[in-house]
Structure 1
């Protein structure tokens, strides 16, 4: 099996963190050969590297499997499908986003369904794809994205002296307008980019490779919420939570933070089933949990989080699903 590393840069924000983690984790597995062909950049760069990609793909044969991050930058899907038509190798997308699920009108579902096997986020996304297909499709699920951090963090102090909610990520009003209605709530701390408010609770941004700034002491939860409303997750971004695994979930868990999440989100079942936090209907319910949970109950949840945190920081979930894909092709 081959895996395409299409990156040639590292960003401090989390925009490409999951893709970079995939490269690092798969490189360490030893079962997959990583091919480094950068696909982002100027038009000239894309033309040059598109040619390199095409020529590499022409060296593959019908028994080879090509794993790649999805979606691909333009115009490389066309390069991939032409080479596949000529050589007959197998293709497997590691799905990061499906634009059609967040209000877009692209061809993502059609492209995904044309692949030989699919790595989906969770059962909700898998069901969405199955309902789009008239034939049986082969899907494996990652269940949770890893947040690869090859270093040890200092233990987080758990006490009843500080009760807070952390909300980290893209703070643009269009994505999470609800935070701008909570600027007077003292025990919510905001971390991230594109903040347009004036709250003293905004703590700035951090390097996604070193996110320990959110590893706060006390009874602290990470919040998963999107949209304008504090009553429910609204709009296209809120709807998207019903299908995707938000990468910030993995960020929180990697930093040892239990999670408060909209109960209709696809990954809420992962949080609840593993006792890593709570599913909630609205922000009021979330804040009530923060303010009333006993130290003993929080410590129990936190002990479960620490177990999952170690797995996420080491690349457990991606390694497991890639091993599954390799074994499936070996059997067939």
Structure 2
């Protein structure tokens, strides 16, 4: 139904140095699939239009959408006019489909916010979610909705070329300021492991030693070809010993964008065993699960050259899908049936 598919545009023209690039890529994939943008807030705000003018524009935009249309939006949605647009569309009986990118109430450990989010999300029927774990979690709270899991986030960058060799050098890329476990990387049990860190927010008390190197922050699409190491680490929270703190718990519900980055970079993954994607990483043979980072030396020593090469080989089809937007494209098709 090309011409009757729309999306609420929120991220056009914005630049990111972290996982937010995934939202921008989602909008690019929607455009590539024939979805037309509805911009209720961004451009009018930048032009200095009055609140009344923006309100009139939003209402006109809502009533320009055909009744048989499908409108996709990415949640969370912070812009007031975009949220108003959704409310008007729902009132008109237009089918609105939610790409659930984040659940702030869980991430921030805020039960009041979470209750408000679930009440708002309960208005919708169709959801594209991170993975089957998130689907199960939401079914228990929202009831029988229609869910389509992504499993991996798309990342519209060409897969890295070149080869890698097995070593004890591990890459971690992300917002370093929110990754409290990094302060424990100088643990004596990790003396044989080297960590290369990439991203913004370097903490002042980060242990930069001969075994922990800060490599800097780079634009996401360049980062794929800049990561130096043999493995990519998916870990979050406050402790090297397992999930701790709000983000450590949240890791058990989400698919992290850095996982897609590592797949594109050809870095076999080391993932916290409680993470939502740990099962698929292990079952698809693209990485290893670990419940405590102090056990890394033994885990790395057990990997043969052949096993390492096999993990890299098995990442190739996933990298091709992720780099071409197939994860979201297929999820959209599934949820529209």
State whether TM-score is above 0.5.
yes
- Worse-matched range after superposition: 230-239 or 190-199: 190-199
Query: Paired residue for 1:223?
Result: 233
Q: Within 5 Å, give how 1:151-166 maps onto structure 2.
A: 151=158, 153-155=160-162, 157-160=163-166, 162-166=167-171
- What residue in structure 2 maps to residue 140 of structure 1? 148
Segments of structure 2 that go 5 or more residues without pairing to the other structure are: none
- Note the C-alpha offset of 1:9: 2.9
Give 2:195's aligned residue. 188
Alpha-carbon distance, 1:214 to partner: 4.1
Distance (Å, rounded) in 2 between the aligned partners of 1:10 and 1:290: 39
Q: Is 1:112–1:118's contact at 8 Å kept on the other side of the alignment?
A: no
C-alpha contact 2:40 2:82 (8 A) present in aligned 1: no
Write the distance in 2 (CA, Å) between the matches of 1:34 and 1:42: 17
After superposition, the CA RMSD in angstroms is 2.4
Question: Partner of 1:257 in structure 2?
Answer: 267
| Counterpart contact for 2:224–2:264, Cα < 8 Å | no
Deviations 1:86-141 (A, max 9, x none): 421011111110012221332222222211211111122112211113x4212111
Distance 2:216 2:132 in 1: 35
Residues 270 and 99 (structure 1), Cα distance of their counterparts in 2 relative to 1, 3 Å cut: same
**Aligned structure 1 segments of 4 or more residues deviating by more than 6 angstroms:** 40-43
| Contact 1:190-1:204 within 8 A present in 2 as well | yes
| TM-score after normalising by structure 1 | 0.87
Aligned to 2:122: 113
Following superposition, the deviation at residue 235 of structure 1 comes to 0.8
Corresponding residue of 2:89:
84
Give the Cα–Cα distance (whole angstroms) in 1 for the partners of residues 50 and 154 of structure 2.
Answer: 29
What SS does structure 1 have at the residue aligned with 2:220? coil
Deviation track 1:60-96 (CA, whole Å, cap 9, x = no partner) reads: 2432111011111132464034312442101111111
Q: Quick one: distance in 1 between partners of 2:24 and 2:172?
A: 23
Q: Which moved more, 1:36-45 or 1:268-277?
A: 36-45
Q: 1:9 aligns with which of 9, 13, 19?
A: 13
TM-score normalised by structure 2 residue count: 0.86
Instruction: Give 5+ residue unaligned stretches, structure 1.
Output: none
